[in-house]
């Protein structure tokens, strides 16, 4: 599948912001729209080499500095030299001149769309347009009318009797690619809104409506604020995994890369004077089969939840580094953070090389007392934790709490995302894991 991102507009509705930078360089969180598009497409299985970005040449925002910024994000660019007097239809024509026949996804550069929505479009075997439902009528933008089967039968800005607003994303099948390309040879379209081309295509092809209310078209500063509000919730990262698998090393890296406060159970145990003082005591204390740590754990995990709530109430994200082997430990956190409405990432760290784990625990035994993170030197603590751990998948999640489960192996560098949600926070975290150099 090929993808075209149409990003050659003038940004006139963005006020002074639109004069300074093109909309594809607007930031949501710490990433530009273009970076988000490329990341999202990559996660949908689309090779960046198969993505063409069409940008402009004329206009205050199209400076060499902005061109260089775009080029640093994505190399495969096409410049519309007359973007000031043509519409995105002509930009699409320029792109298709360089693309061989294939399934093609076409995205407006100011449309941010969750990964699940794009995946659904990609896997749909039909031609599809993306729309959202509007409760109130809006004069601007193209509207869509569909028949009882969901086929688009009309599209235009002046339509009144419809609730569907076009969202700036469409997919055309490989077999219908020539119809699209041939239609774009008509120069009458070049100074017209892309909706006019789509209206005529709907007469020639079967194109179906895909509805999802999550996409945001960023046409003005209010839309940009809404996008940041919608996609950038505060979040909690809950580290999960047996002793010796590398979760604390990884937690520290994430904390440094994303500039997030980190709270470690070992530090809290020491603050509460609940930590074992000798290797021999630790060997017994952290062996779950001895059943000596329930009271201490309840105090520690309560304090971890307290810290999480405090950070969230201060508008900060937070990482909690502990085993979280039992459902009650996780419930403590779920129920405490629920009212703050953060995203929750459970990062399950795994290591299948038990000889490597034994080596690490032997190092901890030698270095016990030199670092708080060397407090669990026992092979028994590893084995007993495996026996008693309760699966994450059986947790009772409070309604409305967004929980993602990510599994990462620091040795193999393999990451598996076990959820179905999409967020910018998720993209940030996965990017750190993709560049993980810990072991």
For 25-69, the DSSP string reads: G-EETTEEHHHHHHHHHHHTT--GGGEEEEEESSSTT--HHHHHH
Same domain, 215 and 242: no
What number of helices (H) and strands (E) belong to the chain?
16, 19
Q: Total domain count for the chain?
A: 2
Q: What is the full DSSP assignment across 381-432?
A: HHHHHHHHPPPGGG--PPTT-EEEEEEEETTTTEEEE------HHHHHHHHH
- The encoded tokens of residue 355 equal 């000889």
Q: How far is CA 281 from the centre of its chain?
A: 43
Strand 27-28 and strand 31-32: pairing? antiparallel
In a domain, 19, yes or no: yes
Distance CA(63)–CA(334), nearest Å, equals 48
Residue 369 resides in a domain:
yes
Neighbours of 291 (CB within 10 A): 9
| 228-232 long-range contacts, CB within 8 A, separation 24+ | 228/28, 228/29, 231/28, 231/29, 231/112, 231/423, 231/424, 232/28, 232/29, 232/424, 232/425
Q: Tell me which DSSP letter residue 278 carries.
A: S
Same domain, yes or no, for 209 and 80?
yes
pLDDT above 60: residue 422: no
The predicted pLDDT at position 161 comes to 83
Are 197 and 310 in a shared domain? Answer: no
- pLDDT of residue 436 exceeding 70, the answer is yes
Question: Which H/E stretch holds residue 434?
Answer: helix 424-434
> Which phi-psi region, left, alpha or beta, contains residue 436 (left: φ > 0; alpha: ψ -120 to 50)?
beta
| Domain end residue (candidates: 176, 207, 226) | 226
Helix (H) or strand (E) holding 211: strand 207-211
The Cα-based distances of 351 to 244, 286, 330, 436 in angstroms read 8, 19, 21, 14
pLDDT in tens, 359-386: 988 888 787 777 766 666 678 888 888 8
Q: What is the pLDDT of residue 14?
A: 63
Helices (H), ranges, 276-413: 279-285, 294-313, 327-337, 354-367, 379-388
Q: Give CA–CA dist 188/210, Å, rounded.
A: 28
Is 439 within a domain?
no
Query: In this model, does residue 145 exceed pLDDT 60?
Result: yes
Cross-strand bridge partners of residue 345: 237, 404
Structure tokens at 69: 């910024």
CATH number at residue 429: 3.40.50.300
**Do 275 and 315 lie in a common domain?**
yes
User: How much is the average pLDDT of 122-136?
Assistant: 89
Name residue, tokens 């969750």. 114
| pLDDT tier for residue 138 given thresholds of 50, 70 and 90 | low
Of residues 164, 191, 190, the one with CA closest to residue 96: 190
pLDDT in tens, 192-224: 888 899 999 999 999 999 998 888 888 888 888
Q: Does residue 272 sit in the same domain as residue 151?
A: no
In this structure, are residues 29 and 229 in contact, taking their beta carbons and an 8 Å threshold? no
User: Which pLDDT value is given to residue 135?
Assistant: 66
Tokens of 165: 């607003």
255-285 pLDDT per residue, tens: 999 999 999 998 998 899 988 788 788 777 7
241 and 219 in one domain? no
**The pLDDT of residue 350 is above 80:** yes
Q: Are both 171 and 94 inside the same structural domain?
A: yes
What phi and psi values does residue 53 have, to the nearest 5 degrees? -110, 125
Output DSSP code: residue 259.
T
CATH code for the domain in which residue 59 is found: 3.90.550.10
Q: Which of the 8 DSSP states describes residue 177?
A: H
Q: How confident is the model at residue 47 (pLDDT cuts 50, 70, 90)?
A: very high
Residues 217 and 252 in one domain: no
Segment 173-182 shows an average pLDDT of: 96
Report the alpha-carbon distance of residue 289 to residue 82 in Å, rounded. 74
Residues 191 and 267 in one domain: no
Query: What is the four-CA torsion angle of 411, 416, 421, 423, rounded to 10 degrees?
Result: 30
Q: What is the number of alpha carbons within 13 Å of residue 37 lying toward its C-beta?
A: 32
- Of the three residues 165, 196, 226, the one that is the final residue of a domain is 226
421: pLDDT strictly greater than 60: no
Residues 170 and 75 reside in one and the same domain: yes
Give the domain extent around 398: 235-434
Give the list of residues 6+ apart from residue 379 with CB closer than 8 angstroms, or none: 358, 361
Domain boundary among 182, 199, 226: 226
Residue 191: CB atoms within 10 Å: 12
> Are 218 and 276 contained in the same domain?
no
Share of the chain above pLDDT 70, in %: 92
Asked if residue 184 belongs to a domain, the reply is yes
Q: Which residues of 257-284 are buried (b: 16+ CB within 10 A; e: fewer)?
A: ebebebbbbbbbbeeeebbbeebeebbb
Residue 88 to residue 56: CA distance in whole angstroms: 10
| One domain for residues 159 and 69 | yes
Q: Which residue has the higher pLDDT, 55 or 283?
A: 55
């Amino acid at each position: 599948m090929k993808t075209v991102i149409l990003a050659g507009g003038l940004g006139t509705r963005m006020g002074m912001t639109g004069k300074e930078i093109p909309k594809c360089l607007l930031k949501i969180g710490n990433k530009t729209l273009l970076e988000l598009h490329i990341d999202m497409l990559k996660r949908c299985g689309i090779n960046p080499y198969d993505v063409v970005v069409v940008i402009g040449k004329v206009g205050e925002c199209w400076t060499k500095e902005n061109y260089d910024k775009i080029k640093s994000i994505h190399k495969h660019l096409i410049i519309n030299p007359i973007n000031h007097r043509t519409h995105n239809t002509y930009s699409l024509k320029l792109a298709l001149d360089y693309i061989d026949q294939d399934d093609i996804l076409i995205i407006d550069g100011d449309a941010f769309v969750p990964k699940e929505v794009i995946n659904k479009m990609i896997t749909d075997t039909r031609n599809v347009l993306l729309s959202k439902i509007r409760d109130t009528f809006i004069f601007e933008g193209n509207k869509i009318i569909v028949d009882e089967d969901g086929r688009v039968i009309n599209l235009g800005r002046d339509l009144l009797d419809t609730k569907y607003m076009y969202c700036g994303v469409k997919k055309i099948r490989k077999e219908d690619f020539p119809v699209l390309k041939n239609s774009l040879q008509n120069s009458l379209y070049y100074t017209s809104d892309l909706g006019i081309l789509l209206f005529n295509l709907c007469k020639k092809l079967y194109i179906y409506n895909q509805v999802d209310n999550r996409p945001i078209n960023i046409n003005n500063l209010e839309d940009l604020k809404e996008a940041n509000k919608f996609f950038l919730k505060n979040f909690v990262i809950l580290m999960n995994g047996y002793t010796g698998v590398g979760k604390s090393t990884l937690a520290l890296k994430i904390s440094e890369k994303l500039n997030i406060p980190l709270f470690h159970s070992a530090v809290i145990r020491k603050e509460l004077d609940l930590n074992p003082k000798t290797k021999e005591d630790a060997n017994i204390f952290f062996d779950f089969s001895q059943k000596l740590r329930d009271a201490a754990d309840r105090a520690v995990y309560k304090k971890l939840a307290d810290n999480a709530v405090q950070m969230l109430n201060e508008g900060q994200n937070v990482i909690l580094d502990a085993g979280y082997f039992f459902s009650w430990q996780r419930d403590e956190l779920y129920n405490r953070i629920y009212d703050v409405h953060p995203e929750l990432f459970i990062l399950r760290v795994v290591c299948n090389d038990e000889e490597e784990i034994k080596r690490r625990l032997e190092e901890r035994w030698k270095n016990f007392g030199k670092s708080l993170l060397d407090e669990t030197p026992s092979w028994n603590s590893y084995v007993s934790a495996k026996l008693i751990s309760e699966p994450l998948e059986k947790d009772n999640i409070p309604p409305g709490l967004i929980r993602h489960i990510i599994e990462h192996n620091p040795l193999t560098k393999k990451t598996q995302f076990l959820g179905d949600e999409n967020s910018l926070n998720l993209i940030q975290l996965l990017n750190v894991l993709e560049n993980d150099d810990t072991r």
